């Protein structure tokens, strides 16, 4: 009988490939999982939902209630820096109340903020000292308080005009 003996080199290559194949499959699977988790995390970051933490009342200089809104609080450095960045929308009577540890001349910008806002500054007595209406989304322009302030309320653009909110009015929560 005559047969051709298989080349041992071919057999060893085949054996090595069979040993390495499961490792490659595992590696490719891990890459796919990592990429899909990254995309999921990215989409979650872009879908920030509103979390009501308090209510802010706007009170006229003659003590009439002008409006009230549900607010999220930004009272840590991280929350104050992030603010309303990357939000797709803000409902009509929603906003954010920024609470600073002390009164000072404050400045805000609209970097990474998708929606136009009215920015309302109030001093330590909670009297409104500066209003910037219709701030421009994604702008790097500085919206400064004209006087020292300790509190800032951000609301949808047009809110102050719609509700008659002016300098000298007050906020309460």
pLDDT tens-place string over residues 24-75: 666 776 677 666 655 544 444 456 899 999 999 999 999 999 999 999 999 9
Q: What is the pLDDT of residues 125-151, one digit of tens each?
A: 999 999 999 999 999 999 999 999 999
Q: Tokens 């069979």 sit at which residue?
A: 18
> For 158, what's the count of Cα atoms within 13 Å in the CB-facing half-sphere?
6
Q: How far apart are the C-alpha atoms of 37 and 52, rounded to whole Å?
A: 28
Q: How far is CA 125 from CA 12, 35, 95, 103, 121, in A?
A: 83, 51, 20, 10, 11
pLDDT of amino acid 150: 98
Q: What are the two backbone dihedrals, phi and then psi, of residue 168, each rounded to the nearest 5 degrees?
A: 95, -20
Name the CATH superfamily housing domain 54-172: Protein of unknown function DUF192 (2.60.120.1140)
* Structural domain boundaries in the chain: 1-47, 54-172
In terms of pTM, does the model score above 0.75? no
Structure tokens at 133: 């209406």
Residue 127 DSSP class: B
């Amino acid at each position: 009988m005559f047969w051709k003996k298989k080349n041992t080199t071919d057999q060893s290559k085949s054996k090595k490939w069979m040993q390495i194949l499961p490792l490659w499959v595992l590696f490719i699977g891990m890459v796919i999982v990592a990429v899909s988790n990254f995309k999921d995390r990215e989409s979650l970051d872009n879908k920030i939902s509103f979390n009501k933490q308090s209510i802010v009342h706007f009170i006229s200089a003659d003590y009439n209630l002008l409006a009230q809104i549900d607010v999220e609080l930004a009272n840590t450095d991280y929350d104050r820096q992030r603010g309303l960045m990357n939000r797709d929308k803000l409902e009509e009577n929603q906003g954010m109340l920024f609470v600073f540890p002390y009164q000072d001349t404050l400045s805000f910008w609209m970097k990474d903020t998708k929606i136009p806002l009215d920015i309302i500054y109030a001093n330590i007595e909670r009297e409104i000292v500066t209003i910037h209406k219709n701030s421009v989304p994604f702008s790097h322009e500085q919206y400064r308080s004209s006087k020292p302030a300790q509190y800032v309320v951000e609301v949808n653009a047009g809110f102050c005009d719609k509700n008659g909110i002016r300098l000298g009015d007050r906020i309460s929560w």
